[in-house]
Chains A and B, each alone.
Chain A
Amino acid sequence: MRGYASFLAARIRVLLQYRAAALAGFGTQLFWGLIRVMIFEAFYRSSTAAQPMTMDEVRSYIWLGQAMLILVMWGPDTDLRDMIRTGGVAYELLRPLDVYWVWFTRCLAQRTVPLVFRAVPMFVVAGLFLGLGAPPSPASAVAWLGATLAAILMSAAFATLISLSLLWTISGEGMCRILPVICWVLSGLIVPLPLYPDWAQRVIMALPFRGLADTPFRLYLGHILPSEALPAIAHQLVWTAAMIAIGRLMLARGLRRVVVQGG
């Protein structure tokens, strides 16, 4: 365990160097958040039907989405891609460590550091000026925190799957362009999930993606009651475990075909 923990700490130290990128990301997300809030305000004003979420809830939901966006925005891990391309990946196998958990740890650091960099200022700015409300009760806040931790794990497991796909595709560009879009739609980052038609919700609720955004956001809003938090978090964790299992299978198969070239 100590090996993985040190590895995580080292990755975090490296990633802490990328503060400018985080600042730029924060600016972009603020801008898009404002646009999305305006779009929904226009919708709500022009509609007379009763909606499953109030506009205040939608506003908070959007700002939470902007704060946590990095969990659903996976870029290819360029270090890892270079390692696979040049064969440096062999060194990973020289360590007395389980390669899956090493990669998972990488991805975990890769999610966590930018998340903190972007989420904290977003909470401050959106909370003070842009209508992000506080959770209705301490219980909701605790449930939200738990679900957010589970979402980070899920995001890392997802990112690990994407990294693993590099063993087949080498570049990973395609995966990294298509997958996030699908995830944005299905996790609630484009339109909050409660606003989807009932038939679509039934499918989406079973899929893993809502665990990345919708689950923690609705716990925050109290839209999912704290008493219903356990099954919601269990849904996240079961899917995370499934992704880890799939990832380990992929790795076992992938390593068999990795031919580390050289005389």
Chain B
Amino acid sequence: MAAVTVEDLVKSFRVAERQPGTWGALRGVVRRRYRTVRALDGVSFELQPGELVGYIGPNGAGKSTTVKILSGILVPDSGRCEVLGRTPWRERVANARDIGVVFGQRTQLWWDLPVVESFELLRDIYAVPHERFRAAHAELVELLDIGPLLDTPVRQLSLGQRMRCDLAASLLHSPKILYLDEPTIGLDAVSKLAVREFVRRLNRERGVTIILTTHDMDDIEALCRRVILIGSGRILSDGPLEALRAGVTTERRLIVDLADGTGPFESDGAEVVHREGARVHLRFDPALVSAPELIARITSRNAIRDLIVENPPIEEVIARLYGEAGC
């Protein structure tokens, strides 16, 4: 049985439209005009237990709306949705026991309380038996290295510390499914790596099904084999990251460091994207000219110091996909 099934989900919001100027504001008092925004326009996908899937899309694409429907906070206009066999908004409380949610931009910890008291409060709220709580607590404290933070009030934690505590908080009741909504937003490099490593282990070792929403493409590349791309409320693609990349472009990148930074540079079969001093970025289509062939051509005409061949950055792939989707 699938862990999460979503079928043809539709959700629209009514947004009041303001007319500009004083006269417009006055007219708005008497007669409001509304505009309907379709946040989700027939979204379908299925997740197997133990999957870790990246759910990406530009701002306003419908990512958070989907997560909110899956956690029972929002009711869709139409469509079917099952999380572990339950419809989330009909059985919100039962559903809540089996899922964990982390919103990167908010905390679920109690601002004024020391972290450990928030944890104990969550234990009581989720009615976790003491034995199980102790085990989960000890494991999470060790994995996330938050032992020294437990007695600190949440408001005094740094963002990276808080995020680790938030992750622990969302997992104390051992949920089977975890929704991570931009968990690395605003974190420094070290904290990002720690969060990523933790998420990876959680998925591999404990088999927690994870939906990861993010704008950080490094998160996606590091963690997700499967990526669902959503734009304007519709699913644009669903599959492995490599397929996504190949679907957009087959082009590759070549970075050349010239021996002479000021001299002219000639290339044949590749296009110069930009040049900064001695370093030249090129793009080429491997169907037209293979990488060894291109390198041979370039080295024959220019004195070079170093060469790097790479895939186009995932950011660019995504940006191009968004562009094609008209988002």
Q: Which residues of A contact B (CB under 8 A)?
A: 2-3, 5-7, 10, 13-14, 17, 86-88, 90-91, 93-98, 256, 259-260, 262-263
Distance of A227 Cα from B99 Cα, bound (Å) = 53
With A10-B113, A256-B75, A260-B74 in contact, do A96 and B125 touch (Cβ < 8 Å)? Answer: yes
| CB under 8 Å from chain A, chain B span 86-101 | 92-94, 96-97, 99, 101
Question: What are 7 contact pairs spanning A and B, CB under 8 A?
Answer: A6-B121, A6-B124, A10-B113, A93-B71, A95-B96, A98-B93, A263-B61
Residue of B nearest to A15 (CB): B112
- Residue pair B73, A260 in contact (C-beta under 8 Å): yes
How many CB-defined contacts (below 8 Å) exist between A and B?
77
Describe A's contact surface by its main secondary structure.
helix
In the complex, chain A residues whose CB is within 8 Å of the CB of B127 = 2-3, 96
- Residue pair B124, A93 in contact (C-beta under 8 Å): no
Distance of A2 Cα from B61 Cα, bound (Å) = 39
Q: Which residues of B contact A (CB under 8 A)?
A: 13, 57-65, 68, 71-75, 92-94, 96-97, 99, 101, 103, 106, 108, 110, 112-113, 117, 120-121, 124-127
Distance of A91 Cα from B68 Cα, bound (Å) = 10
- Residue pair A93, B106 in contact (C-beta under 8 Å): no
With A6-B124, A259-B13 in contact, do A14 and B75 touch (Cβ < 8 Å)? Answer: no
- Residue pair B93, A5 in contact (C-beta under 8 Å): no
Nearest CB of chain A from residue B169's CB, rounded to whole Å:
11
- Residue pair B124, A96 in contact (C-beta under 8 Å): no
Which of B57, B64, B97, B121 is A262 in contact with, Cβ under 8 Å?
B64
Nearest CB of chain B from residue A124's CB, rounded to whole Å:
29
- Other contacts beyond A6-B120, A6-B125: 8, CB < 8 A: A7-B124, A93-B72, A94-B99, A95-B96, A96-B94, A262-B68, A263-B57, A263-B62
Nearest CB of chain A from residue B128's CB, rounded to whole Å:
10
In the complex, chain B residues whose CB is within 8 Å of the CB of A14 = 110, 112-113
Distance of A13 Cα from B113 Cα, bound (Å) = 8
In the complex, chain A residues whose CB is within 8 Å of the CB of B57 = 263
Residue of B nearest to A6 (CB): B124
Distance of A95 Cα from B169 Cα, bound (Å) = 12
In the complex, chain B residues whose CB is within 8 Å of the CB of A5 = 124
Nearest CB of chain B from residue A93's CB, rounded to whole Å:
5
In the complex, chain A residues whose CB is within 8 Å of the CB of B61 = 263
Residue of A nearest to B125 (CB): A3
Q: Which 3 A-B pairs have the closest CB atoms?
A: A6-B124, A96-B96, A3-B125
- Residue pair A91, B108 in contact (C-beta under 8 Å): yes
In the complex, chain A residues whose CB is within 8 Å of the CB of B94 = 96
With A2-B127, A260-B68 in contact, do A10 and B108 touch (Cβ < 8 Å)? Answer: no
In the complex, chain A residues whose CB is within 8 Å of the CB of B96 = 93-96
Residue of A nearest to B11 (CB): A259
In the complex, chain B residues whose CB is within 8 Å of the CB of A263 = 57-65
